[in-house]
Structure 1
Amino acid sequence: MRAILSEIDIPPTWLALHVAAVWVLSLVSPAVLGDAGAAAGKVLVLLGALIMAAAVTQMALRRTTVIPRRMPSTLVTTGLLSLSRNPIYLADAIILLGAILWLDAILALPLLASFTWLIQTRFIIEEEARLTAAFGPEFGLWAARTRRWLGRK
């Protein structure tokens, strides 16, 4: 049972659970955003999917893993990864925000904070420790100039 739980304890599972919770909350949330929210939500979901695809492609071209809890073979610091140390997780958060807007589930906005906290505590902190162990000062320099979620320092 523990092996099964560790196999499904991955960011896409947590994203799916959060999106399901958004849907449930959309059933009781007051309609506030209407068609504009639905349009913006669709754009954000598409943007998140595009960012995710670009980041996965970039990492695949460098022959390193995108699977959490696996040791990376290469430190990728260019392209999208020069703007975010975690562009795939950022894409997940954008998709979640898009779902909230698309479904007009204003009551679900706190789920965005819970998702980013969960991803940071369950995955990002461990990944950064692995990157530090594997790449030492090179990771430190990248982390010093690139924010965890978005932007350069």
Structure 2
Amino acid sequence: MPWFKWIDMPPVWLVSFIVLAKLQSEHLTYGLSFGGPWADLAAGLLIGGGLILLVLAMIEMRKQRTTVIPHSEAAKLVTGGIFRRSRNPIYLGDVLILAGFILRFDAVLSLPLLPLFVWIIERRFIVPEENGLRRKFRADFARYCQKTRRWV
């Protein structure tokens, strides 16, 4: 895979959005705040929950001997483990991590980054990946989509 393809990866998008939230929290606060220790607690829970989702999904994909690399062809359709609850637990984990950092940085004005991040991830990664799974696994993927939601 060429080096520039490695730049267009979900972790790079996630880190970029986290950096944007950090910059906003340092330079454009306008006196807005989530306030209090509850925000730090919620931030920790969101970041921790997101990391747990990432690890559980990666373990399941490794057990099934398929790739976690976006835009790569999947060897198997993974429907067990955490994938019983969400078709995209890694991306869901990314969203939780971003939300947690926005809370942690007290970056109120960065809240619109969440739906923007979801939109980018869906368009650049989820839709193409699901189209590939649909072509390769046809009826199995259709059944999986009927019983398992994309996000939660």
TM-score, scaled relative to structure 2: 0.94
Q: Deviations over 1:33-54 (max 9, x none)?
A: 2321112101210111011001
Q: List 4+ stretches of structure 1 deviating above 3 A.
A: none
Residue 112 of structure 2: aligned partner: 110
TM-score, scaled relative to structure 1: 0.93
Residue 48 of structure 1: aligned partner: 50
Give 1:141's match in structure 2, choosing from 139, 143, 147.
143
Q: How does 1:17-28 map to 2 (within 5 A)?
A: 17-27=16-26, 28=28
Q: Deviations over 1:62-109 (max 9, x none)?
A: 101110000001111122111110000000000000001111111111
**Partners in 1 of 2:33 and 2:118 — Cα distance?**
25
Partner SS, residue 12 of structure 1:
helix
**Partners in 2 of 1:66 and 1:32 — Cα distance?**
35
Partner SS, residue 76 of structure 1:
coil
Aligned 8 A contact 2:34 2:103 in 1: no
Paired-residue identity, %: 39
> Please, which moves more after superposition, 56-65 or 36-45?
36-45
Structure 2, unmatched stretches of 5+, are: none
